[in-house]
A = this chain, B = another copy of it.
Amino acid sequence: MMESGRLEAFSDGVFAVAITLLALNLAVPGPGHGPLARQLVGHWPSFAAYVICFLTIGIIWVNHHTLFKNFAKIDRTLLFLNLLLLFFVVAIPFATATVAAYLGRGGADASLAAAIFQGVFEGMSLSFGLVFWWSIRREHLKIARTTAGARPAIIRFGIGNVAYVVAIGIAFLSAPAGQPATRAG
């Protein structure tokens, strides 16, 4: 088994890099591509996606530590479920860049880009759910200072997390889903 601290430090590194790489998508084309103001306005999906993804990774990070601080040891299954979670976290900058590039265009491409974005977020949410489900079955891994009140708090976080992801999915993706016919073609 591995110390919980190792897993948290590595996950923190991945979260920190992913959250910082998100900002690389903000770059506008630069001089020679029209007024800066128009470039920034046309670039709004990137800014919206940056805010949403930053918040989401931030919240996943908070939930990640709320869960793992209850453990002193990590077994092999939790280790790989955590890698699965990080797999989707690392894919977020890609999904964000793709949806930001295609969101305003409508048509099949916008729907596909939205589906990729939603798929990555649902994969992240699902793998966090798996980590959560496995961890509440491993009572013997927990450290002594876990009080009886910890589990409801964890469950509350888990539900809130899923609800959050569903909510932003609906909010962010309802636009392209509702208007493909008007812009396509």
Interface residues of A (CB under 8 A from B): 2-3, 6, 8-10, 12-24, 26-28, 30-31, 35-37, 40, 54-55, 58, 61-62, 65-66, 69, 79-80, 83, 86-87, 90-91, 93-94, 97-98, 101-102, 105, 108-109, 112-113, 116
Contact assessment for A10 and B61 in the assembled complex, using a CB-CB cutoff below 8 Å: yes
Given contacts A21-B24, A23-B93, A112-B36, contact A31 B101 (CB under 8 A): yes
Establish whether residues B9 and A112, one from each chain, have CB atoms under 8 Å apart when the complex forms: no
* Chain A contact residues: helix, strand, loop or mixed: helix
Docked Cα-Cα span, A40 to B95, in Å, equals: 12
Determine the distance from Cα of A16 to Cα of B14 in the docked complex, in whole angstroms: 5
Q: Contacting A27 at CB < 8 Å: which of B13, B28, B87, B97?
A: B97
Residues of B within 8 A of A69 (CB): 2-3, 6
Q: By the criterion CB–CB under 8 Å, are B16 and A54 in contact?
A: no
Q: List chain B residues, Cβ under 8 A from A55.
A: 83
Contact present for B35 and A109 (CB under 8 Å): yes
> Copies of this chain, how many?
4
Chain B nearest Cβ from A129, distance in angstroms: 20
Give CA–CA (A9, B19) in the complex, Å: 14
Residue contacts A-B, CB under 8 angstroms, 5 given: A16-B17, A22-B90, A23-B94, A24-B93, A37-B108
If A36-B113, A112-B37 touch, whether A17 touches B13 (CB-CB below 8 Å) is yes
Question: How far, in angstroms, from A20 to B28 measured CA to CA in the complex?
Answer: 20
**Measured between C-beta atoms, what is the minimum distance from A73 to chain B in Å?**
11
The winner among A9, A21, A116 for most chain B CB atoms within 10 A is: A9
A109 touches B36 (CB 8 A): yes
In the docked arrangement, what's the CA distance between A87 and B51, Å?
Answer: 8
Instruction: Report B-chain residues with C-beta under 8 Å of the C-beta of A86.
Output: 19, 58
